[in-house]
A and B are shown apart, each in its own frame.
Chain A
Amino acid sequence: MSRDIKVMVTGVGGQGVIYLVDLLVSAATRSGIRVSTSEVHGLSQRGGSVNAGVTFGENTFGFVDQGEADYLIGLEFLEAQRHLSYLHSLSYAVIDNTRILPFSVSSEASTYPDTPELLAFLEEQIARVILIEDQLEEVNPLHRHLFVLGKATTLEGFPLTSHAIEKAIEEITRPALQEQNITLFRQGCGTDAGIKRQRAQGGQGDQTARSIV
C-alpha cells in the first residue's frame, strides 16, 4: 500500500486489547502486509486504561502519536473518549457502548461521559463513527472485542480482510475458544452490511455496566 495506516485500539485491562493486537499482527503478516505495534503492558491487567498502536505498511514503526490514528477501535466508551486526541479529521472510529464504571464514578466523585455529546462531536469532525449498541445475549460483556473488530472490518479502507482475520483467529486462539470467537467475529462483520451511522438509542446518561442493564 502507498501509505501507512495506523490503528489505535483502546479499552480496559481484561477486555482483550492485547489479544486483538495479536490478531491484527498475525492477519497482517499472513496477508503479506508489513506491520508493527507499540503497546504498554504491565499494569494493564489491573483494570486500568489500555491502549495499543498498530501500523500497517512500509513504514514499520508501530508508534501511533496524537492525531495519527486513521482508525480507532474502542472497546469501552470512556476509554475511547479519553483517546480522542489520537484522531484526525479523516479518521474512522468504531466504539462499543460498553461502559465499565471506574471507581471514581461509583463513588460519585466524577460523572461518566455522555453518549450523545461524544457522538455529535465525532460525527461532525471525523470521517465516520459507528457506535455499537447491539445487545449480545450470552456474551460476556467484557469479551465483545471480536464483535467490535468485525464491525471495524466494514469500515472503508480497513487494512485487513475479514478472511485474513478469521485465519488469524484459528491460528492464535486456543482450540476450546476458536469456534465461539469466529462466530462472534462473523456476527460483527455481517450484521452491519452497508456502512451506515448508528446513533445512540436511549441509554443516555445510563451509568450501568453492560451486564446489568
Chain B
Amino acid sequence: MGNEATARAAIEAGVQGVFSYPGTPSTEISEIFSTLSSFDVDAVDRTLHPQYVPYPVYFEYSVNEKVALEKAIAFSIGHKSALCCMKNVGMNVASDALMTVAYQKIYAPLVIIVCDDPGCHSSSNEQDSRHWGRMASVPLFNPAHPEDAYQMTKEAFLLSAEIQLPVIVRLTTRVSHTRSTVGYNGIQLNQKPGAFKRAPVQINIPARNADAHQQLVDKVHSEKFQRYFWNNNSLTSSSSSNLYGVISSGVSAVYLEEVLSRFKLQQRVATLKLGLIFPFPEKDVLLFLKQGFKYVLILEELEPVIEHQVRSVAQKNNLNLKIMGKGFSNLERTGEYSISIMTQVISDFMSLSLKEIKKPLQGLNDLVSNLPQRPPTLCVGCPHRATYYVLKLVIPRTDEGPLLCGDIGCIGLGALPPLKMLDTVNHMGMSIPMAQGLSEAIDHQHPNGVIAIVGDGTFFHSGIPALLNAVYTKANITVIIFDNRTIAMTGGQDHPGSAKHQGTHNVEIEGLVRGVGVESVSTVDPFNVKQMFSTLKEAISHQGVSVVVAQSPCIKIDSPLLPDRSQMKVVVDHNHCSTCFHHVDKTHPCSQLCTPSSGLARARAKIAAGIHLPAKDQSCPANICNHGFFNSILAGDYSTSLAIIRDNLLFARTCGDICHRPCEGDGVNKVPVKQLKKYVSSIEDNFNDFTALDKRIKETERQHHSVAIIGAGPAGLSAAYDLLLQGFSVTLYEKEQSAGGLLKFAIPDFRMDKGGYETEIQFLATHGVTFNFGHALGSEITLDGLLADYGAVILAIGLGRSLLLDQVEKALPRHHKYSAVDFLRQYNLGLIDLRAGSTLIIIGGGNSAIDAARTAKRIDQNNRVILSCLESREAMPAFDQEIAEALEEGVELITESEVNNIEAGDDQNFSLTLKNTLTGKTITTLNGHYLITAIGQSGDPDSLTGNHGITVDKEGRLPGDPSSELSYDHPSGNRAGALFVAGDIASGNHMSLIGAIGSGKKAAIGVRRALQGYQYEYEADEPLQALNSRQSHGMDSTHALKWEEQSPDQWSGDISRFDLYQPCERCNHCIDNFGCPSLVKVNGKVQIDQGTCTACGFCIDVCPNNAIKWAEATADISPVALS
C-alpha cells in the first residue's frame, strides 16, 4: 500500500523519530511506527527470521499535529532524523511551526507527509495541500503511485539533509490506499547521536528575519535541485509530429498512462510527469514546452497549481501554444478524476472519439435510483448512542430547545438519523468555541442554552484552550465530553486520557477540567440511563460552564460487558413488542399515532418519571385507552389525544366536566385524567374536528341489522355511538322532546357545558342515527312491537320516578315542595321562580341533593340553603368534591339528621324539626320556604307493564348484566330480536355518568354478540364492576382543586412526573429514536440480530413496551416461539 511504502522508505532512510496525529488517509503510516515502537524485540525467533534487524525508532502520537511537528522539528534540530505525518487538515494545525522553521536551520532531515483527500471521502474539506510548498518555501514532492511514494520519500530525506530544510511529501487517498508491487532495499541502523549546538541561528528574532528570508529564497532556487528534478520528473516522447504534450502530476499521471495504453496512443503524445513540484522545475518544463507542441494539456486533481506555473513559464518565454487546464473538457477543481473522466479529456484534447471497449449495461436506471442509502452509523454497542439517546430524552428538539454544537469523529455520526442530535459540525475542535460564541451571539433569544459535544480525542487535540476560554470569558455553556477512551474513528489510537502504551502517562479528564477552572463536572457511565439522565439535566440547567464526561470504552477496543452477562443474550418478546394491551376487537385501529415524538414521550416517561403506573391501575369503565391518551398529551399532541378518547367515548367534554373520576382513586399520585380530558376537549379546533370519525364511519362495512334503543340518556347514547361505529343502523326512541336524559335535564348548567354535550349528541344525528322524540315506552311504542321490527332492542329508560317522603307529601302543599329532579329540570328550563332571599331545605345526601343545593344558592345568593341527610359526612353518597364545593358556596350541612316534624305555616313558609338519627335528640327547628326531596329515583313500573316475562325488582330496576340477553316471552312465540338493558334501569348499574356510559357500551357488546357473532366480553368490565365496590367518593377535593387551579403549562411540567405504561401497538420507538443496527423491524415486530448484537443491554432501557429482556445465551428463542 502507498502508506506502507512510505513508511518503509523512511525506515530505509534512517528515520529516528516519528511524530504523528492519526487522520485518514495517513493513519497507516503512523500505525506501522506505533507497532514498531511497541514491538517486543526479544520475542522474535531469529531462526525463523534471520533477516530481522531490530530498529528502535522513537514514536509518539502527539496531542495534536502542531505539537507533533514542533517535536519533530526539535528532533531534527537535535541532530536526529525525523518524520511527521498527518492528514490534509492536520497540516493547517501544524502550519505555524512550518512557516517559521524554514527561516532557521535543521541539522538532520525532517520529512513531513501530508495526505490530501480529493473527493472528500473522510475529511472536513478537500484542500490542495500542495500550496504549502510555495506558502512555506519548502520543497514538495507529489507521488503518483506507491512506487513513487517509496522513491520520493527516500529522496525527500536526502534533499532535506542536503539543504537543511524540512521537505514535504504530499500524498492523496488514491496513492495512500492503493496497493501495488513495490521493490524495496535493505535497512541499515541509523545510530547517529543527538546533540544541540548553540548558534545564533537557533534564536529567531525579527532583526534576523529579513536576511533569513532572503537566504531561504536563495536556497530554494539553488542548483542543488537539478539532480532531484532529474530523479523525480520523467519524460516520454512521441514519435509523430509534436502536436500534443501533456504535463501531469499525482494520480492523474496514472490514469493518463492507463488511457494512453488502452487506446494505444503512447506514440502520439509526449508526456512530462512531475514529481518534485516545489521549487517548480522551470527549466525542465521550458525544455519540454519548446518541443513545439501545438496543444499542451495539464492534468492535476484539485487546484491548478502546476497549470498556473506552466502558463507563467510559457508567458515569460513568449511561447505560442494553447494550454488546456481546469475548465477544459471535464477537468474540474473539485472531486477526484477517474479513468472515464480521463478518457473523455483525451478524446476532447486530441479530437478523437474514444469509445469504451466494454459494453456498458442498459436500462440500469430503475434498479439503481432510489436504493436505500447506507450512511455510516454508530456501531452496535457504541456508548455514544446511549449518551445521545439519553440527551434526547432530556432536551426537546424544538426551536426552543438547546442548540447542539458537535465536532468531528465518531460523535459526528450523531447528526444522522435516527438520532439527529447535532445542529452544527465544522472542523476539528470547533464544538466548544461554537457553543460559547453562539451562546454569546443569541443568548437573549435562547434561554435554554447551548451545548457543546466533543469526543475525548478531539478534546485533548484542541478542546482544552477552548474550554479554558469559556471559563475565562464566563460563558454559559454545557460541554459533554463523549469519552470512549480512544481516538476511535481512525482505528483506536491512544491519547493522553487513555494512555495505554509504554512510556505514556495517563491524564484524567475530570481533573484536567477542574484544573482549567470548571467547578461543575462529573463523570457518568452512559449505560446507566437514570444517572446519565439526571446528571445531564442538572448540568444543562447549571449557569456557567458545566462539563459532563460520558465515559465508557469504545466497543471496538473493549467491551464493558459485566462478567455475569457474558452468558446472556438480549431478546425481544413479541407478546409485548408493538402489541396492544387490548387484545380483542381489531376491527378498527386506534387513533394513536406511530411517530418518533409519540414513541419518545413514552420512552421519556419510562426513564424520567417518578411515578410509574401500569395503565390497568387507571382503567376506565368506558374502555378508553388512558395510556394512549396520556402519552399523546406528553408528546404535545392534543388532537390525537382527543381522537383516542373518541375511539371509545363520544362524551369527552362532558366527562371532562362531571365525571367522578374513579380511575384517579384518591387522587394522590394518579394521573389527573379528568382534568387532561377536559383540557384537550376544550380546545375548540380539536373539539369540533370530527374528520377522523367521519372517515372511520365511511370506511366501516354496514351491518345488515338495525337496532332500536329506548331512552336517549347517556347510556342509550353511548350504546348508539358504539353501534354506529360498527356499522349498525340505529334508531333512538325518547319520551322527551330532545335527547340527553337526566344529564340534560337534571344536571345544572354551571356544572357542565350543555352546549358541548349537545354538539356531542348531534354527531349521532348527523351520522345517520335516527331520533324519534315524544315516543314513550308503554304508550307510543311497545317492546313487542320493537322486538318484531329490530334485530335487537336496548332498554335504557332510566329511573324516571323520584322517591318521596310521606311526611313531606302529607304536610306540604304543592308550591312549597319539589323533588330534586323536578327542581333541577325546571331550573334548566328557566321555569323556577322563587321568592327572593328564601330558605330552602333539602332532604338527602346524594349528588342530586348537592346539585339542588348549589343551584338554589345560584338562583339567589341571599337564599339560605340547608341540607339535611341521614348519613355522616364521610358516608354521604354524594361525591366528595361536590360536597366540598357546596360548602364553599355557603350551603349549610346538617348530617346524621332526619325529619322529625313538619308543619305548614301560612302560605309563605313552614317549620321543620330535625332530630339526630342516632340519639333521637332534636337538633334544630328550621323555618323554610321551600323543601326539596332528594332521596333517590326508582323505575317507573307503568312503562314496563304489559311487557312479557320481564321481572322488575323492588327499586323498579331490571336484573341482569347489560351484555346478556334478557329473556323475554314474545307473544307470538316467534324468534324475535334480542333484548338488552342498559343504564340506571339495570340493577347493578352504578349511578354515575361513567357507570351509565359503561353500561351502554356493555349492552352494545351484547348486541354485537347476538347479531355480529362478536366473540369477546366487554373489555372494561373490571373497572365497570369496581365502580360499585369502591366508595366512589371521587378524588379527595384538595387534590382535585389543585389541578384545576393550575393552567396547562403549569401542569404540563407536573404531569411529566407520571409514567402510565403498557405495551402499545403503535410503536416504532427503538428504530425511530435509538437506531442500533442490531434492531431490525420485520413484519411489524422488532427482532435483535444476534449475529451483530454485543449484548450491552441498553435497548432494554429504551423499549417503552418493556418488550426487550435478558435471556440465557443458550435459550432457543426463535421469533415463532415468542409469539
Which residues from chain A sit less than 8 Å from chain B, CB to CB?
Answer: 12-13, 21, 25, 29, 34-49, 59-63, 65-68, 70, 78-79, 81-82, 84-85, 87-90, 101-113, 117-118, 121, 125-126, 140-142, 207-212
User: Is the pair B362, A125 in contact by a Cβ cutoff of 8 Å?
Assistant: yes
| Given A37-B179, A40-B177, A65-B339, A87 and B371 contact (CB-CB distance below 8 Å) | no
| Given A29-B181, A118-B367, A46 and B361 contact (CB-CB distance below 8 Å) | no
The answer to whether B374 has its CB under 8 Å from any CB of chain A is: yes
Select which of B257, B368, B375, B1092 is within 8 A of A48 by beta carbon.
Answer: B375
User: Is the pair A41, B1080 in contact by a Cβ cutoff of 8 Å?
Assistant: no
**Chain B residues, Cβ within 8 Å of A13:** 376
User: Is the pair A85, B255 in contact by a Cβ cutoff of 8 Å?
Assistant: no
User: Is the pair B360, A88 in contact by a Cβ cutoff of 8 Å?
Assistant: yes
| Given A42-B122, A107-B1068, A47 and B376 contact (CB-CB distance below 8 Å) | yes
| Given A46-B413, A47-B374, A90 and B1080 contact (CB-CB distance below 8 Å) | no
User: Is the pair B1089, A211 in contact by a Cβ cutoff of 8 Å?
Assistant: yes
User: Is the pair A63, B174 in contact by a Cβ cutoff of 8 Å?
Assistant: yes
Within 8 A of A (CB), among B354-385: 356, 358-364, 367-368, 370-379
| Given A36-B178, A78-B372, A88-B358, A107 and B417 contact (CB-CB distance below 8 Å) | yes
Choose, from B681-689, B826-834, B1070-1078, the stretch at the interface.
Answer: B1070-1078
| Complex CA–CA separation, A39 to B173 (angstroms) | 9
| Given A65-B340, A87-B361, A117-B367, A60 and B181 contact (CB-CB distance below 8 Å) | yes
Which residues from chain B sit less than 8 Å from chain A, CB to CB?
Answer: 24-25, 121-122, 145, 173-174, 177-181, 254-255, 257-258, 261-262, 338-340, 356, 358-364, 367-368, 370-379, 410, 413, 417-418, 489, 491, 556, 1068, 1071-1072, 1075, 1077, 1079-1082, 1087-1092, 1119
| Complex CA–CA separation, A90 to B491 (angstroms) | 38
User: Is the pair A212, B1087 in contact by a Cβ cutoff of 8 Å?
Assistant: yes
User: Is the pair A59, B261 in contact by a Cβ cutoff of 8 Å?
Assistant: yes
| Given A38-B177, A60-B181, A107-B1068, A46 and B359 contact (CB-CB distance below 8 Å) | no
CB of A187 to closest CB in B, whole Å: 18
User: Is the pair B173, A40 in contact by a Cβ cutoff of 8 Å?
Assistant: yes
User: Is the pair B340, A39 in contact by a Cβ cutoff of 8 Å?
Assistant: no
Interface pairs A-B: 6 shortest CB-CB:
A42-B122, A46-B376, A36-B180, A48-B376, A88-B358, A211-B1091
User: Is the pair B181, A48 in contact by a Cβ cutoff of 8 Å?
Assistant: no
User: Is the pair A84, B367 in contact by a Cβ cutoff of 8 Å?
Assistant: yes
User: Is the pair A107, B177 in contact by a Cβ cutoff of 8 Å?
Assistant: no
User: Is the pair A85, B364 in contact by a Cβ cutoff of 8 Å?
Assistant: yes
Q: For residue A125, which residue of chain B has the nearest CB? A: B361
Q: For residue A122, which residue of chain B has the nearest CB? A: B361
**Chain A residues, Cβ within 8 Å of B379:** 45-47
| Complex CA–CA separation, A108 to B132 (angstroms) | 48
User: Is the pair B122, A208 in contact by a Cβ cutoff of 8 Å?
Assistant: no
**Chain B residues, Cβ within 8 Å of A25:** 179
Q: For residue A83, which residue of chain B has the nearest CB? A: B368
User: Is the pair A107, B371 in contact by a Cβ cutoff of 8 Å?
Assistant: no
| Complex CA–CA separation, A17 to B966 (angstroms) | 74
**Chain B residues, Cβ within 8 Å of A125:** 361-362
Main secondary structure of the interface of B (DSSP, over half): loop
**Chain A residues, Cβ within 8 Å of B179:** 21, 25, 35-37, 39, 62
User: Is the pair A61, B255 in contact by a Cβ cutoff of 8 Å?
Assistant: yes
User: Is the pair A210, B1091 in contact by a Cβ cutoff of 8 Å?
Assistant: yes
**Chain B residues, Cβ within 8 Å of A104:** 372-374, 417
Additional A-B contact list (4), CB under 8 Å, known A12-B374, A103-B1071, A107-B1068: A46-B378, A46-B413, A88-B360, A212-B1087
User: Is the pair A85, B417 in contact by a Cβ cutoff of 8 Å?
Assistant: no
CB of A7 to closest CB in B, whole Å: 13
**Chain B residues, Cβ within 8 Å of A207:** 1082
User: Is the pair B372, A60 in contact by a Cβ cutoff of 8 Å?
Assistant: no
Q: For residue A36, which residue of chain B has the nearest CB? A: B180
User: Is the pair A61, B374 in contact by a Cβ cutoff of 8 Å?
Assistant: no
CB of A12 to closest CB in B, whole Å: 7
Interface pairs (26), CB distance under 8 Å = A12-B374, A21-B179, A36-B179, A38-B177, A39-B179, A40-B121, A41-B25, A47-B376, A48-B377, A60-B180, A60-B181, A62-B179, A63-B255, A68-B358, A78-B374, A81-B367, A90-B358, A104-B372, A104-B417, A107-B418, A107-B1068, A121-B363, A126-B361, A208-B1082, A209-B1089, A209-B1092
User: Is the pair B417, A65 in contact by a Cβ cutoff of 8 Å?
Assistant: no
| Given A37-B178, A46-B413, A103 and B377 contact (CB-CB distance below 8 Å) | yes
**Chain B residues, Cβ within 8 Å of A38:** 174, 177-178
**Chain A residues, Cβ within 8 Å of B1092:** 142, 209, 211
| Complex CA–CA separation, A67 to B367 (angstroms) | 15
| Complex CA–CA separation, A191 to B320 (angstroms) | 67
| Complex CA–CA separation, A132 to B1009 (angstroms) | 53
**Chain B residues, Cβ within 8 Å of A40:** 121-122, 173, 177
**Chain A residues, Cβ within 8 Å of B121:** 40, 42-43
| Complex CA–CA separation, A178 to B1102 (angstroms) | 39
Select which of A78, A85, A103 is within 8 A of B361 by beta carbon.
Answer: A85
| Complex CA–CA separation, A125 to B363 (angstroms) | 10
| Complex CA–CA separation, A25 to B373 (angstroms) | 30
CB of A93 to closest CB in B, whole Å: 11
**Chain B residues, Cβ within 8 Å of A37:** 178-180
| Complex CA–CA separation, A43 to B255 (angstroms) | 25
**Chain A residues, Cβ within 8 Å of B413:** 46
User: Is the pair B180, A35 in contact by a Cβ cutoff of 8 Å?
Assistant: yes
Select which of A41, A59, A88 is within 8 A of B359 by beta carbon.
Answer: A88
Q: For residue B251, which residue of chain A has the nearest CB? A: A63
Q: For residue A142, which residue of chain B has the nearest CB? A: B1091
**Chain A residues, Cβ within 8 Å of B1091:** 140-142, 209-211
**Chain B residues, Cβ within 8 Å of A79:** 374
**Chain A residues, Cβ within 8 Å of B376:** 13, 43-48
**Chain A residues, Cβ within 8 Å of B262:** 59
**Chain A residues, Cβ within 8 Å of B254:** 61, 63
| Complex CA–CA separation, A89 to B177 (angstroms) | 29
User: Is the pair A61, B358 in contact by a Cβ cutoff of 8 Å?
Assistant: no
| Complex CA–CA separation, A79 to B371 (angstroms) | 9
CB of A58 to closest CB in B, whole Å: 9
CB of A203 to closest CB in B, whole Å: 13
Q: For residue A89, which residue of chain B has the nearest CB? A: B359
User: Is the pair B372, A212 in contact by a Cβ cutoff of 8 Å?
Assistant: no
**Chain A residues, Cβ within 8 Å of B377:** 46-48, 103
**Chain A residues, Cβ within 8 Å of B25:** 41-42
Q: For residue B375, which residue of chain A has the nearest CB? A: A48
Q: For residue A6, which residue of chain B has the nearest CB? A: B358
| Complex CA–CA separation, A111 to B660 (angstroms) | 50
CB of B227 to closest CB in A, whole Å: 28
**Chain B residues, Cβ within 8 Å of A111:** 372
CB of B1121 to closest CB in A, whole Å: 13
| Complex CA–CA separation, A138 to B258 (angstroms) | 45
CB of B1051 to closest CB in A, whole Å: 33
Q: For residue A29, which residue of chain B has the nearest CB? A: B181
**Chain B residues, Cβ within 8 Å of A46:** 376-379, 410, 413, 489
User: Is the pair A106, B1079 in contact by a Cβ cutoff of 8 Å?
Assistant: yes
CB of A126 to closest CB in B, whole Å: 7
User: Is the pair A81, B178 in contact by a Cβ cutoff of 8 Å?
Assistant: no
| Complex CA–CA separation, A209 to B1082 (angstroms) | 9
| Complex CA–CA separation, A104 to B417 (angstroms) | 9
| Complex CA–CA separation, A7 to B90 (angstroms) | 34
CB of A32 to closest CB in B, whole Å: 10
| Complex CA–CA separation, A107 to B1074 (angstroms) | 11
Q: For residue B87, which residue of chain A has the nearest CB? A: A42
**Chain B residues, Cβ within 8 Å of A44:** 376
Select which of B367, B375, B1071 is within 8 A of A107 by beta carbon.
Answer: B1071
Q: For residue B336, which residue of chain A has the nearest CB? A: A63
**Chain B residues, Cβ within 8 Å of A126:** 361
**Chain A residues, Cβ within 8 Å of B356:** 67, 88
| Complex CA–CA separation, A60 to B1089 (angstroms) | 41
User: Is the pair A81, B371 in contact by a Cβ cutoff of 8 Å?
Assistant: yes
| Complex CA–CA separation, A40 to B178 (angstroms) | 9
